[in-house]
A and B are shown apart, each in its own frame.
Chain A
């Protein structure tokens, strides 16, 4: 069996750092990634401290749990309080709603269960046909095809979807338009790209002149991608390059894309800490409305309290602030007792920073 640790050859990483240093000629560059798994890889391997000082890596909104707004959590909470069985991913349990998280409703006797994905949700719903189940479906482009595939096949009658799926490219576009946020290139998320393909990012260099490199998740992938971004800048180019060719193609996963457009419409949705972003989310199409929990239970959208006083998640999510700059970090906010959404999921920037910060020094 192939040892995936081969990917971590120290010699290669050392050489990559040398190349980055040589290429960048001391000039300062800031690059943004938008992926929780990239943040884990970068922080776990201490890449920020290994990179030359003039290269800065910032984390954008790449953690689906963090960007799910309080209004969506409130809807899930209301369903659990109303006697429905709410199913969701483990790391969505403790995301704060306006008042309660799903974990808190569960502690008060609500039926909330953790599942690994929608297949398990279907099994549970079939096993107890007398109960009504709702799957709280958070996630980005990577997760959407799993939901689309099952909705297209037809869900059990006692299961519906509380959908909170969001799209990566529209949020990347939005961030480039924020006048006070400066960066010179994007590291695009590898597994989102496996679905949407390199093609999906072309608007970014074309319309905004911003270089994009699709990156894998090994330290060497990230370093090589940084070197590729620097080279694009010095050559006066801006295009989409694919470093992660072993998993990502130009077209992406066509079967998945077709399923997504069959089952979902693109919709304007709220992102926590960012606001409403045009065409940045997915909504079940009308012909599948019977499986839309919002339709089935006539849910009203709450205003939702996204950021509690003192939490700086809205700035952490867009890469303006590092977790360490939040005064709640480590004191009032820890993974065991998260105060803000960025501390909840294993992919949240604050959570990652908490878990790996000791190792980084």
Chain B
């Protein structure tokens, strides 16, 4: 039950977003987030989006990981 999965917002109707989890599409309540737009990546838990991660942040994290690792390696 604890599983929280990232998906991309396809459509918004009031408090409800249609979220695509790589092909599986489900509705999620987005009232816990300040602002959500179509195209945003959200993490959904028991039907509620609990946090947002934008595609660019997610992509950058590979570079961020590399950087962080090399910083640690030099410690």
What residues of chain A have their CB less than 8 Å away from a CB belonging to chain B? 1-2, 4, 6-7, 9, 12, 15-16, 18-19, 22-23, 35-37, 62-65, 89-92, 116-120, 138-140, 142-143, 145-146, 149, 191, 194-195, 220, 224, 227-228, 231, 234-235, 243, 245-248, 253, 255-256, 259, 345-347
Given contacts A12-B69, A15-B69, contact A36 B2 (CB under 8 A): yes
Q: Which residues from B are CB-within-8-Å of A35?
A: 2
Q: Is the CB of A65 within 8 A of B1?
A: yes
Say yes or no for B11: interface residue by CB 8 A criterion: no
Nearest CB of chain A from residue B63's CB, rounded to whole Å: 11
Q: Is the CB of A117 within 8 A of B46?
A: yes
Contact count A vs B, C-beta below 8 Å: 134
Query: How far apart are the CA atoms of A26 and B58 in the complex, in Å?
Result: 33
Q: Which residues from A are CB-within-8-Å of B72?
A: 19, 23, 224, 227-228, 231
Q: Which residues from B are CB-within-8-Å of A143?
A: 1-2, 45-46
Q: Is the CB of A347 within 8 A of B46?
A: no
Q: Which residues from A are CB-within-8-Å of B46?
A: 89, 116-118, 139, 143, 146
19 additional contacts (CB under 8 A) given A37-B4, A246-B53, A255-B33? A7-B62, A9-B62, A12-B66, A12-B69, A15-B69, A37-B3, A92-B1, A116-B46, A140-B2, A142-B4, A191-B2, A195-B50, A224-B65, A224-B69, A224-B72, A231-B72, A243-B68, A255-B34, A347-B3
Q: Name 17 interchain pairs, CB-CB below 8 A, sorted by A.
A: A6-B62, A9-B62, A19-B73, A37-B3, A62-B2, A90-B1, A120-B47, A140-B2, A142-B4, A145-B50, A191-B4, A224-B68, A243-B68, A253-B50, A253-B51, A255-B32, A256-B50
Query: How far apart are the CA atoms of A89 and B59 in the complex, in Å?
Result: 33
Say yes or no for B43: interface residue by CB 8 A criterion: yes
Which of B2, B4, B33, B58 is in CB contact (< 8 Å) with A246? B58
| Consensus secondary structure, chain A interface | helix
Q: Which residues from A are CB-within-8-Å of B2?
A: 35-37, 62-64, 139-140, 142-143, 191, 347
Q: Which residues from A are CB-within-8-Å of B61?
A: 7, 245-246
Q: Which residues from A are CB-within-8-Å of B59?
A: 2, 6
Using C-beta atoms within 8 Å of the partner chain, give the interface range for chain B. 35 or more
Q: Is the CB of B43 within 8 A of A247?
A: yes
Q: Is the CB of B32 within 8 A of A145?
A: yes
